[in-house]
Structure 1
Amino acid sequence: MGDIDTHAAHLAQFVSGLTTTDLRAEFHVCGAPRVLEDTAFATLRFNKDIPGMFKATRLTPGNRGGLRLRIFGSLGGLVRDMEDRDRQKLNVFGELGKVLNRGLGHGMTSMPNDWCEQDALSRRLA
């Protein structure tokens, strides 16, 4: 479990710009008996007294690890699912949600909400 938990904690710090100050975790063996735990639940405290949590498990049939990051704050939220690495969702209070799409070799760019309509996309690019 250490590898999954370490990646999740590091990713949360990197994306949020915050530092973990406290951590409390519970580890469990779910399903068939194993030598090591396969599931973890953790609550964190970041600097500025900001709470956080994560859960990790090796028991997710149909998922390739299922690492998903969700950060919410006073301005809105950001969701990143590592199984769909080319996109992330940005929701700002009072605005339409945006899907950010990986650019052509240079980071993330905003995808228009009506991206599937060719005429609307052409108008935006013009």
Structure 2
Amino acid sequence: MAGRLAHAVRERDVAIRLGGDEFVVLLDLEGEDPAGQARRTAERLIALVGLPVPLGEGAAVTVGGSAGVALWPADHADPREVLELADAALYAVKRGGRGHVRLHDGAARGFVSRNK
């Protein structure tokens, strides 16, 4: 999965395995509607993760994914806190039904891009 994610993001973005079945994708967002950009990217990555993984001899497995999104610095100035906010949004998704994206409340309210 780490390889799928790493190849699915742009060169300026970062995808890493945090541990277990948790991954972090850091997006360098520019322009209008970064929360929307993040949501669309997360939806695309969830679909990619859900594609069958071939095991050989015609066998395959599928896995699912969910995503929590938070924006730096809009949601918090400390990047560690932003990761915690994204994690909280992720667990809210998992409680409500997997396979979806949830933006941290601050991310959902919007963000003024630093590149405007």
Higher helix proportion: 2
Higher strand proportion: 1
Give me the TM-score of the superposition, normalised by structure 2: 0.25
Give me the TM-score of the superposition, normalised by structure 1: 0.24
Which structure has more RCO (C-alpha within 8 Å, separation ≥ 6)? 2
